[in-house]
Structure 1
Amino acid sequence: MTNPLLKLDGVHTHIGAYHILQGVDLQVAHGEMTVLLGRNGAGKTTTLRTIMGLWNASRGAVTFEGADISALATPDIARRGIAYVPENMGIFADLTVRENMTLAARGARRVEEVDAARLEWIFGLFPALKKFWQHPAGLLSGGQKQMLAVARAIVEPRKLLLIDEPSKGLAPAIIQNMIAAFRELKQTDTTILLVEQNFNFARQLGDQVAVMDNGRVVHAGPMAALAEDEKLQQDLLGLSLGAHQ
């Protein structure tokens, strides 16, 4: 891959006494969705948190737009145009949907200062957010909370989105809504690195895929190639994507 937007070279991450990432090599191309797959405990979430500076790499380099960001603090990484949607969504339950969105727009002190056209675009992706605009976020359903978490990440244009298991625990109808929203988001030239356990979700959206095992990337390539190769799916993941369609 020539000049990837994001690149990890031999990244190791220790959390206390635990050596979680053990030499991760990963490249994410500009304007594509790369999906991180792997069994529980393989290191996927730790990879996202290390990129975001929430956990520090003990060795190796994380490069974004050609610059090493390994030693930067999380706020400085965010200011470079990277947003992170954690598995626990990271929303403020006691604040309204409107207040959550205003806080996420770093340049706005009042909702009137948020880009109105972009808000309307987000409402088109997630109509429930407009309906519950003045409701406390803690009263939203699980799917609506996930929509809010993604909406907060895109309330301003970002160069890279790191999203951890957006379909986890969601009903099939909500998952289809999320797939449609991500498809539209991909048309905006936004680069996405997605951790996902729903393999049908991943197959429909991913351009590239990287499979992790024991803290390393053990396979990387086009998602279409993995989706068509059931033996490779069994070897890497212990299951068939076809069984989850």
Structure 2
Amino acid sequence: MSEPLLKLSGVHTHIEQYHILHGVDLVVPRGELTVLLGRNGAGKSTTLRTIMGLWRASAGSVQFDGRELAGMETPDIARRGIAYIPENMGIFAQLTVQEHLQLACRSGKPDAARLDWIFGIFPALKRFWHQPAGTLSGGQKQMVAIARAIIEPRRLILVDEPTKGLAPAIIDHLAEAFVQLKASATTILLVEQNFGFVARLGDSVAVMDGGVIVHSGRMADLAADQDLQTRLLGLSLAAHQ
């Protein structure tokens, strides 16, 4: 396994009176797509939000490239080269596609070569460039959310359930986008319930249950072992492809 870019050690997170993460140990190898799996309520989204500083770890360490993130403010974490795409996409209905990408750039103006690369991944965004994002389909909004996250080079992208509610054709398009992101040396931590999708894309995998990591390894090994899938997740990948 390659050198980790992100490492969580003994991370606990409380949200008001609720203890959600109970000592998470997670390694995200550099340059890979790591899948975070688990049943609903296992703590997957809370893990992403804790990494991003949206919820504070009450104990433990979150190290990014050897430097501690726990206790840092979210804007400072983002400036380290980390982007976060939430499950709800965080789209502003009245802003155009252009305005979403401009706001995500420090200079306020996207780099032309970078923008052309994004249009190559998501050609539809060029067609809808001046259109309010609220008028777009769910798949098109997801394209905006991903494009906004990568309009400047990022070292790590945290993605929460990007295929939720999307048509199979759009999911295939998103898969190709993640392949291109990996090829650009971007590390990805992906929470996803579409097991066929992650089996195609994932390099490494971690499975959560009850706020802790209960399994970690190579995605190919988990995809090939239906007994392990059923034991960890209560179902097999084949049943959901």
Q: TM-score range by the shorter chain?
A: over 0.9
User: What does residue 100 of structure 1 align with?
Assistant: 100
* Aligned counterpart in structure 1 of residue 234 of structure 2, from 224, 228, 238: 238
Residue aligning to 1:7: 7
- Give the match for residue 64 of structure 1: 64
Amino acid at match of 2:227: K
CA distance in 2, matches of 1:4, 1:185: 18
User: Which residue is equivalent to 2:214?
Assistant: 218
- Equivalent position amino acid for 2:134 in 1: G
| Residue 84 in structure 1 maps to residue 84 in structure 2 | yes
Q: What corresponds to 1:165 in structure 2?
A: 161
* Offset at residue 126 of structure 1 (A): 0.8
Query: 166, 178, 181: which one pairs with 2:174?
Result: 178
Question: Distance between the aligned counterparts of 1:185 and 1:201, measured in 2?
Answer: 15
Partner of 1:21: 21
CA distance in 2, matches of 1:203, 1:39: 16
Instruction: Output the amino acid matched with 1:91.
Output: I
Runs of 4+ in 1 over 4 A off after TM superposition: none
TM-aligned CA deviation for residue 3 of structure 1: 4.1
Q: In the alignment, does 2:193 pair up with 1:190?
A: no
SS of alignment partner, residue 5 of structure 1: strand
* C-alpha distance after superposition, 1:13-70 (max 9, x if no partner): 0001100000000000110000000000000000000000000000000000101110
Tell me which amino acid in the other structure corresponds to 2:239: A
Cα distance per residue 1:166-221 (max 9 Å; x no partner): 00000011001111111111100100000000000110110000000000000000
Deviation at 1:93, TM superposition (A): 1.1
2:214 is paired with a residue whose SS is strand
2:198 counterpart (171, 179, 202): 202
Considering only aligned residues, what root-mean-square deviation do their CA atoms show, in Å?
0.9
| Shift, 1:107, TM fit | 2.3
Counterparts of 1:83 and 1:92, CA distance in 2:
17
Letter matched to residue 201 of structure 1: F
How many residue pairs get aligned? The number is 241
- 1:51 matched residue in structure 2: 51
Shift of 1:105: 1.2
Report how far residue 228 of structure 1 moved: 0.1
The SS at the match of 2:19 is: strand
Aligned to 1:135: 131
State how far apart, in whole Å, the 2-side matches of 1:63 and 1:127 are.
36
Q: Deviations over 1:108-128 (max 9, x none)?
A: 2xxxx3111111110111111
What is the rounded CA distance, in whole Å, between the counterparts of 1:86 and 1:174 in structure 2? 18
**Match for 2:19: what amino acid?**
H
Partner residue, 2:140 = 144
Give the gaps of 5 or more residues in structure 1.
none
